Chain A
Amino acid sequence: MSSSWIEVGAEADFAGQMKVFQIGRKKVAVAGLDGGIFAFDGLCPHAFGPMHRAEVDGAIVTCPYHAWRFDLRDAGREIHGYRPLAMYDVKVEAGIVHVLFEAAASAVVLDSRPCKLSYVAA
């Protein structure tokens, strides 16, 4: 099987949004944050927490189950030293976001939410 660029939507629709797609047999989260668009495993590597419901601090996303925290600008590194979050390559062409997936497939959006912040003044 050869990898394939999968279209997931217009770039403008991802600003400050977390979306999760079913692509083939995988859940893939796509978020527009910290001045970029990032695609990553929709399920946390710890215990499958829903990463599209993560909290956001710059490019660091916090899983809502047990707060493992992944740096999307550092290959999904977990900042406490736990297992990393798998990431996907992303490209934007003519305002459309594409995710590099392991095989040809279509993307079906499962959920979409505004990014929630990790640190909010009370």
Chain B
Amino acid sequence: MATPRKKRTYTTAFEAARTLGQLFSPEGYTWETELPVRAKHVPLIIHISCNAHFTMFIAYIAGEILKRLDLEFVTVGGPENCCGSIQKNMGDPDLEADVATKAQLGFNRAKPRKVLSICPDCDDVFAEYPLKAASFVHANISDLVVEYLDALKPKMKPVNKRVVVHFHDASPSRVKDAGRVMTILKAIPGLEILPAQLAHGPGIHCQTVHPMAPHDQAAMFAEAKALEADALVVPYHSCYRQHIKMQLEFGVETQHYFGLLAEALDIPFEEPFKIYRLTDDLETVMGMLRPKIERLGYDEDLVRIYVDRAVFC
């Protein structure tokens, strides 16, 4: 049965993030949607933006890494911390700056020294509308790992995998991210980075605004397969969302670099999004989610629409 698709609106975009964030999270995993006006000082904030709620394992692993480093942090998420890119993409650019500012004012309540976003869109929007007199520097989450890489290296165990590294270089910040991801991967013992030529992604990230063209995507995976790669490693959740399904055709897994980092650091984690996408069947996924949908009291018909749009994109 085909799902009656609903057009993307603020309601569907944000409710999908809100709902799937809960459904796709590890049991007991929580995040703050609003920091109190007089929040306790916290040096680090992990920021989960809208579509990053579909791949919550990334924020979860980031938190586990910070715990292993004994660093104090708070995780903020929910639509309440949207960077403003949704408003821009919905055709309301006049709302974008205000939403970006509100999010940063919210972070500033805890007077952090660094705010780390998972999504490159957030990186770009916050860079475009920086908060005057912010206590914090905003950076991509890869920045934090590189900052503490020397402390993490002794904790790593070998990950014996052959990988192709997918990257984007459409802007200076994407080039920096790609460099940091490569630095992190090179620090993981046992990991063999293969000399691929076709792993370059379009635009600033895959999937949403600049999806990788199907023939380029197929060529990237064909090359990875020919190189006998175990995995294609991606820098962003959006690339992860677009490329996972290719495992069904090419047998090469798509992994976010945080997944490899977690393996190296012995952090147990699950990837529900990947499990769901690889079923290749919406109703199978709905059957898997049904107990949690019922327990959390969600409307199954709406969840079906959100899952169809987010997972089978």
Given A66-B14, A67-B15, A119-B9 contact (CB < 8 Å):
yes
Total contacting residues, chain B, CB less than 8 A:
26
Determine which of B11, B34, B98 lies in contact with A69 in the assembled complex, contact meaning CB atoms within 8 Å.
Answer: B11
Chain B 27-47, CB-CB to A under 8 Å as 1, else 0, gives 000000010000000000000
B112 is an interface residue with CB less than 8 A from chain A: no
Chain A 14-27, CB-CB to B under 8 Å as 1, else 0, gives 00000000000000
**Whole-angstrom CA separation of A102 from B174 in the bound complex:** 53
CB-based contact A67/B7 at 8 Å: no
**Whole-angstrom CA separation of A116 from B90 in the bound complex:** 12
Given contacts A116-B9, A119-B11, 19 further A-B pairs with CB under 8 A are: A46-B80, A47-B80, A55-B10, A62-B9, A62-B11, A64-B10, A64-B95, A65-B82, A65-B87, A65-B95, A65-B99, A66-B79, A66-B82, A67-B11, A67-B15, A117-B9, A118-B12, A121-B5, A121-B6
Q: Which 3 A-B pairs have the closest CB atoms?
A: A67-B14, A118-B11, A122-B5
* Chain A, Cβ-Cβ closest to B106: A47
B95: A residues at CB distance < 8 A: 50, 53, 64-65
- A107 → B minimal CB distance (Å): 24
A94 is an interface residue with CB less than 8 A from chain B: no
- B122 → A minimal CB distance (Å): 14
B87: A residues at CB distance < 8 A: 64-65
B90: A residues at CB distance < 8 A: 64
Chain A 84-122, CB-CB to B under 8 Å as 1, else 0, gives 000000000000000000000000000000001111111
